[in-house]
Amino acid sequence: MSQRPIYLDCHATTPVDERVVAAMLPYFTENFGNPSSFSHVYGWEAEAAVKQARNTLANAINSTPEEIVFTSGATEANNLAIKGVAEAYFQKGQHIITVATEHNAVLDPCKYLKSLGFEITILPVQRDGLIDLTELEKAFRPETILVSVMAANNEIGVLQSLTEIGVKCRDAGILFHTDAAQAIGKIPLDVQAMNIDIMSLTAHKVYGPKGIGALYVRRRNPRVQLAPQLHGGGHERGMRSGTLYTPQIVGFSKAVEIALQEYSAETQRLTQLRQRLWEQIKQIEGIHLNGHPTQRLPGNLNISVEGVDGSALLLGLQSVMAVSSGSACTSATTTPSHVLTALGHPEQLAYASIRFGIGRFNTVEEIDTVAAHVVATIQGLRKQKTLV
């Protein structure tokens, strides 16, 4: 059997940590009760596990457990946040602000709301992927009800200035939502210090299971109102009906717990691996680093390559490494990444891009192997082009 390629696509998803699997297993077979069953021990066991998970997630972001609403993932959380605010506050205003480099799980709900008559302002980004805070403030209107800016970009890893954005939104009396799917467990998140009112989270980007996420919804100063998007049972403070998936919830909280325990050492290790990869690749001419050089996720490296065909580049790499050219959610499309074109890249550069997502289980040896193969592949493709 041939050796599997080195996995460097941790922004698409991560393997579930064995410690997370171990924590989940009893809730599939032994403690399998419904946490809403309050009349017997099976329900009490499940309820206790869910309560503990809420506490863990709340502590991770400096909220209260009651402010954590479990969802099926960040996509549902984003939809609940954006559509839920729009429906609950439409009499106050029908203007929402977001950013050109957001995930489609934010842009598509905004597009849907626009079809219903809402006004959507999509802010551009600067060449480094950061928004201009002055332009954000200029976009505020009396009828603006929500600003949605992601914490960490899923393609270029750029970290937006959440604290500064939060202050501006709070001063203007506008709700601030952030998609933190890529950020939880990887950068400090404090909803109080950052004035975040609503925050979307997911487990599978942080070595937890797929199919589970959460939405932080502020309860006071201000108390955020959301119109539910799923009805039937009134679970999760009436915001998200449906039987809670206890094993997934336990896995989510365990994954975040591990990430926070290992945060300092892992941040340093990933940053060193990223820099090691970049130092070896950047020696080639015509290599562009996408996104801010330092204000980015520690395990993210996104490059564009001049003078090569994007499809040929990925094809040449896939036997050695598993990487992508953009978001996994849109990898089947034939259009260039909207994130890279928002940075001002021409189509050729946007197509000929590689996103490296370095993770917990990658080694120095793997990074060196990947770097050597990337360099050889680019040089080979350019040589073929010259010969033709």
Confidence at residue 239, expressed as pLDDT on a 0 to 100 scale? 86
Residues near 58 by Cβ (< 8 Å), separated by ≥ 6?
64, 65, 67, 68
- Is the pLDDT higher at 336 or at 26? 26
Contact predicate 196/178, CB 8 Å:
yes
Contact predicate 319/370, CB 8 Å:
no
What percentage of the chain reaches a pLDDT higher than 70?
96
CATH of 18-260, one of 3.40.640.10, 3.90.1640.30, 3.90.1010.10, 3.90.800.10: 3.40.640.10
List, as one string, the DSSP characters of 51-97: HHHHHHHHHHHT--GGGEEEESSHHHHHHHHHHHHHHHHTTT--EEE
What tens digit of pLDDT does each residue of 275-308 get?
999 999 999 999 999 999 999 999 999 999 999 9
Coil, helix or strand at residue 27: helix
Residue 386 confidence class, pLDDT cut points 50, 70, 90: low
Q: In the annotation, is 329 catalytic?
A: yes
Confidence at residue 1, expressed as pLDDT on a 0 to 100 scale? 42
Confidence at residue 326, expressed as pLDDT on a 0 to 100 scale? 62
Which residue in 10, 110, 169, 329 is the catalytic one? 329
What tens digit of pLDDT does each residue of 308-339 get?
998 999 999 999 999 998 655 544 456 789 99
Q: Is pLDDT above 60 for 49?
A: yes
Where exactly are the structural domains of the chain? 6-15+263-387, 18-260
Confidence at residue 387, expressed as pLDDT on a 0 to 100 scale? 57
As a whole number, mean pLDDT of residues 258-268 equals 98
What tens digit of pLDDT does each residue of 181-218 get?
999 999 999 999 999 999 999 999 999 999 999 999 99
What's the CATH class of domain 6-15+263-387?
alpha beta
Residues near 196 by Cβ (< 8 Å), separated by ≥ 6?
162, 166, 176, 177, 178, 189, 216, 218
Confidence at residue 388, expressed as pLDDT on a 0 to 100 scale? 40
Confidence at residue 174, expressed as pLDDT on a 0 to 100 scale? 98
d(CA 77, CA 71): 6
Contact predicate 317/374, CB 8 Å:
yes
Confidence at residue 384, expressed as pLDDT on a 0 to 100 scale? 87
As a whole number, mean pLDDT of residues 10-23 equals 98
Q: Is pLDDT above 90 for 342?
A: yes
Fold match between 6-15+263-387 and 18-260? no
Average pLDDT, the chain: 94
Of 73-87, 103-117, 244-258, 323-337, the least confident: 323-337
Confidence at residue 233, expressed as pLDDT on a 0 to 100 scale? 82
Contact predicate 357/6, CB 8 Å:
no
Parallel, antiparallel, or unpaired for β 68-71 and 213-217?
Answer: antiparallel
Distances (CA, A) of 296 to 36, 141, 200, 341: 40, 30, 19, 18
Confidence at residue 334, expressed as pLDDT on a 0 to 100 scale? 62
What percentage of the chain reaches a pLDDT higher than 90?
87
Confidence at residue 134, expressed as pLDDT on a 0 to 100 scale? 98
The position carrying tokens 């080639």 is 284
- Is the pLDDT higher at 387 or at 102? 102
The position carrying tokens 């009112």 is 197
